[in-house]
Amino acid sequence: MNQFTPRPQRIRQQAQSEKPSSKPGWRDSNRIRILIRLGYLGVALIILFVVFNSVVMPLVTRHGDSFDLQNLVGMSIDEATKIVEESGLRIEVTSQEYNPSFRDGSVLTQYPTAGTKVKSGRIVKVVVSLGEKDVIIPQITGASVRQAKLDLETAGLRLGDIAWTYTDTLPEKLVVFAFPSPGDTVSIGSKVNILVNRGRGQGVTYMPDLVGATIDEAREVLRQKGLKIGLIKTRHDENFLPETVLEQSEDPATELEVGEEVDLVVSTTE
């Protein structure tokens, strides 16, 4: 019996030829998706680099840099504040003081001082001037020099020049006069000059009142005071006895040196 038997080799070849093959379109789509993802990643990296370079790096770099602090002394507080803040710093007013050398509202001192190396964010502390302060000169007439000095300093003033005089109206070494005078208003820190009594000095005397005395009486009074008669002039005046003193060259109570001459005008009836 003769039966048909197919060849195995040909059947295998046919089966292999009928096996479905991979599609070229599927591979291309995968490749495109990968490229798109890589593109997104690249764009993200570029954006991150730009942000880091433009924002983060300047902050880090600026924070580390130092620069010289500008001199603020003498500026108005508004002007100083603007300069400080534009430099990335902060300003703080610690106190206010009177000072006649700086106008009201100007910077009197600063810390750190001008030229100091500072970094962004540093606080600059300043003292602001209140300008001149007016004070009243205390009553120092009749006080000792030491007490007058203390009273002036308490009022914010300074003792100026000390001059000396002779007088018997006050005890020795007490203030006779002050200039400017007590009660006057002056700027704080001003000087006050004083005149101090040295006591009744030797060689100092005072002019007596001779009007109405005779020439002989006047000569004796002057001698007792250590003074002398100088020129004697006459004037006709029948209201007085002859040789009565009508005028004297120095006013009564005038301070004179011993031995000084005094001129007189005496009456005459001729």
Residues 92-101 pLDDT 10s: 999 999 887 8
pTM as predicted: 0.38
- In angstroms, the CA 10 to CA 161 distance is 139
Helix (H, G, I), strand (E, B) or coil at 33: helix
For residue range 123-177, what is the model confidence (pLDDT) as tens digits? 999 999 998 888 999 999 999 999 999 999 999 899 999 988 877 778 888 999 9
CATH topology of domain 134-197: Trypsin Inhibitor V; Chain A (3.30.10)
- In angstroms, the CA 219 to CA 262 distance is 10
Mean pLDDT of the region 239-255: 91
Q: What is the pLDDT of residue 263?
A: 95
Q: How far is CA 97 from CA 100, 123, 187, in A?
A: 10, 20, 14
For residue range 173-227, what is the model confidence (pLDDT) as tens digits? 899 999 999 999 998 889 999 999 887 656 778 899 999 999 999 999 999 888 9
For the segment(s) 66-129, the CATH number from 3.40.50.1370, 3.30.365.10, 3.40.50.720, 3.30.10.20 is 3.30.10.20
Mean pLDDT of the region 35-64: 69
pLDDT at 7 over 80: no
